[in-house]
């Protein structure tokens, strides 16, 4: 079959053409159909279909292994460092996350098949948050003794550069987010292996366990950093509600207390991650994505 990448992936990888050219993503995308075919043939997989609309950073193909076992073949550009995702999944070994079945020299990941159409976002909010906290708690383990994962300090320092040159329209929030980050990394004391991109949509129904997470962007640091995206979940509903500001602050308190995380540290990382994501959205001409993030950040 033809392995044409979904339009969502093409658009996402093409939002910053200069970066795509610099890190080789443009060339990778052009060769993706051939790369996928070679990966399938090499593993003697039977292809069912390409997952669409799929993700914004990888091609996901539903396949069956030679023995008929359902699986997922995931191909991501080298800049996404799929080797680090594989290392994190191998370290978790199926505990709270999908099982890594194979990571080949070609960079492709063969993964346990979950139910992609059933995520925590299909549950009522209170139930979804309960299941999310139970899942993410399982992932917070000590990293391998020798690892290549980034630290939260290094990752956020790189991402802070966008805030340092933010437009005047978001300058007060950008400055507040930068100040919060500086204070947080100055006295950080935890070094857990974190998912790095955890949210309700990353937790899918499974057969081996009720809920398992996918798509980590692994990083080592404090748990509050990993919890911040959960505060931002279902953001449009939150912003549309008349009690949105109070609800957001209650969500910070509830999440922090349920996982024994300091409330102020979670508030600070939520402020940083919301503002930094919003600034990136503005730079790629997505103001509708940025606006609710900035509004929530202003509530914190």
Q: Which residues of the chain fall below pLDDT 50?
A: 18, 20, 22
pLDDT at res. 226:
97
136 close to 89: Cβ distance less than 8 angstroms: no
Phi, psi at 63, each rounded to 5°: -135, 175
pLDDT at res. 18:
47
Q: How far apart are CA 136 and CA 162, in angstroms?
A: 28
191 close to 218: Cβ distance less than 8 angstroms: no
Alpha carbons within 13 A on the beta-carbon side of 104: 17
pLDDT at res. 299:
95
Q: What is the largest CA-CA distance in the chain?
A: 59
Q: How far apart are CA 106 and CA 260, in angstroms?
A: 41
pLDDT at res. 3:
74
pLDDT at res. 290:
95
181 close to 268: Cβ distance less than 8 angstroms: yes
Both tokens of residue 127? 């139930």
**What is the DSSP track for 123-164?**
S-HHHHHHHHHHHHHHH-BPPPSS--PEEHHHHHHHHHHHHH
Q: Does domain 118-299 have CATH number 3.40.710.10?
A: no
pLDDT at res. 52:
81
Mutual orientation of helices 287-299 and 263-283 as an angle, nearest 10°?
Answer: 160
Q: Among 54, 88, 51, 57, which residue's Cα sits nearest to residue 71?
A: 51
Q: What is the pLDDT of residues 184-202, one digit of tens each?
A: 999 999 999 999 999 999 9
- Side by side, the strands of the sheet bearing 211-213 are 115-119, 203-205, 211-213
Q: Does domain 7-113 have CATH number 3.10.350.10?
A: no
In sequence order, the β-bridge partners of residue 220 are: 151, 193
Element (H, E) at 235: helix 235-240
Coil, strand, or helix at residue 18?
helix
Can you point out the beta strands (E) in 51-197? Answer: 59-64, 70-75, 100-103, 109-112, 115-119, 150-151, 192-194
Coil, strand, or helix at residue 214?
coil
Q: Among 204, 235, 21, which residue's Cα sits nearest to residue 122?
A: 204
Q: How far apart are CA 300 and CA 297, in angstroms?
A: 5
Both tokens of residue 282? 């503005």
pLDDT at res. 244:
86
Tell me the domain boundaries of the chain. 7-113, 118-299
């Amino acid at each position: 079959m033809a392995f044409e990448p979904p339009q969502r992936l093409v658009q996402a990888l093409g939002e910053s053409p200069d970066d795509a050219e610099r890190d080789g993503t443009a060339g990778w995308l052009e060769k993706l159909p051939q790369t996928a075919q070679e990966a399938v043939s090499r593993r003697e997989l039977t292809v069912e279909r390409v997952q669409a609309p799929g993700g914004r950073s990888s091609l996901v193909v539903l396949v069956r292994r030679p023995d008929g076992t359902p699986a997922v073949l995931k191909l991501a550009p080298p800049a996404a460092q799929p080797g680090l995702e594989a290392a994190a999944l191998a370290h978790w070994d199926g505990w709270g996350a999908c099982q890594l079945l194979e990571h080949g020299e070609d960079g492709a990941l063969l993964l346990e098949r979950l139910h992609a159409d059933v995520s925590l976002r299909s549950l009522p909010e209170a139930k979804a948050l309960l299941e999310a906290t139970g899942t993410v708690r399982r992932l917070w383990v000590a990293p391998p003794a020798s690892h290549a994962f980034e630290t939260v300090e290094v990752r956020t320092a790189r991402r802070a550069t966008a805030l340092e040159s933010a437009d005047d329209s978001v300058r007060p929030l950008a400055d507040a987010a930068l100040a919060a980050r500086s204070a947080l990394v100055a006295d950080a004391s935890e070094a857990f292996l974190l998912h790095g991109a955890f949210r309700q949509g990353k937790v899918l129904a499974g057969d081996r366990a009720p809920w398992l997470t996918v798509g980590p962007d692994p990083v080592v640091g404090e748990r509050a950093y990993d919890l911040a995206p959960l505060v931002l979940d279902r953001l449009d509903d939150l912003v549309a509600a008349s009690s949105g500001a109070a609800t957001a602050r209650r969500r910070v308190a509830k999440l922090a207390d349920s996982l024994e995380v300091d409330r102020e540290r979670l508030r600070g990382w939520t402020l940083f991650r919301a503002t930094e994501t919003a600034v990136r959205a503005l730079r790629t001409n997505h103001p509708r994505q940025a606006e609710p993030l900035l509004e929530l950040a202003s509530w914190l």
